[in-house]
Structure 1
Amino acid sequence: MQRDRRTTDRTRPRGRHDAARPGGTAGPGRAPRPDRWFAERLLAVLSGQCPVHRMLGHTIGDAYEQLVVLAPGAPLRPAARVRPVVRYCDIGRPAPDVIEAFARIAAGDRLSAMAFRLERGRDLRWRCAAVEIGPRG
């Protein structure tokens, strides 16, 4: 079966020949990076967009209690009506099954910082073990 070239040529930038499409962070069959996935979920909880119990199965140790204390104040809720977004996320790997990540959160011209620790369990699932929120700028 031959594809209709006219349709394909109109939807892809000139000179581009691959089948990739905009909007995806992970390709087909690939899971998103755990640090980015957790940064998005933690931001949703700490900005008041989602309830804290959304993270119940994704935390271990004292992390859930940290979120229960932080979430009611919605420390990453923007002052204006601009939805906060994860602008940048990076990691450190102090051990093979540990990720220490930080994220820059932007809401309009305001910046915030968030740090968190992920630990991989025996079931190979990543869970958040600690969360810290930096000062707002």
Structure 2
Amino acid sequence: MDTTMRGTTIGGEGSRRRPSAGPGRTRPAGRRDTRRPAGGPPSALRLGPHHWFAERLLAVVSGRRPVHSLLGHTVGPAYQQLVGLAPDGPLRHRLRPVIRQCGRFTPGPGVIEAFARISTGDRVTAMAFRLEQGPDLRWRCAAVEMHAPRP
């Protein structure tokens, strides 16, 4: 054993180590600002792809987003269904609609049949849609239906 290393301790007198983080600290050692790191993906993605699609479909049908914003996220007749729903959709001229409930049923691998209950004031509208997972593992909307109450 080398005699020059004897008696040397890690973090001894010559060391300039910062004190360890206490039990209430959430930031890494040495970080001085109080901002927290980003929290990860939006909550809709953590809940599932049907929540993400419900929010985007609602934005298109209510006129907050253009139909072509979902062009790469739709397959088959779904895009044409959105084109038909968007110009005079049941939610276009109302108060700002909000998704109150979103659920899903998985009939098989790579398929989600979902629904969303949308409320605008005291009215409730139902939206049903089908998601299919492609070979690239991305989810795409394959069908959309809206059922609004009659005035």
**Same fold by TM-score greater than 0.5:** yes
Task: Tell me which residue corresponds to 2:86.
Answer: 71
C-alpha separation in 2, matches of 1:119 and 1:71: 22
- Amino acid in structure 2 at the alignment position of 1:25: S
Deviation digits for residues 22-50 of structure 1 (CA, Å, limit 9, x no counterpart) = xx626xxx744100000000000001111
1:92 to 105, 119, 129: 105
Task: Tell me which residue corresponds to 1:38.
Answer: 53
Q: CA deviation at 1:4?
A: 9.3
Larger Rg: 2
C-alpha separation in 1, matches of 2:130 and 2:108: 11
TM-score, with length taken from structure 1: 0.76
Q: RMSD across aligned C-alpha pairs, in angstroms?
A: 2.4
Q: Which has the higher helix share?
A: 1
What runs of 5+ residues in structure 2 fail to find an aligned partner?
Answer: 1-19, 26-38
CA contact under 8 A between 1:58 and 1:127: conserved in structure 2?
yes
Runs of 4+ residues over 6 Å off in structure 1? none
Percent sequence identity is: 59
SS in 2 for 1:90: strand
Q: Figure out how many residues of one structure are paired with residues of the other and give that number.
A: 117
What runs of 5+ residues in structure 1 fail to find an aligned partner?
Answer: 7-20
Residues 67/74 of structure 1: CA separation in 2 closer, same or farther (3 Å cut): same
TM-score, with length taken from structure 2: 0.69
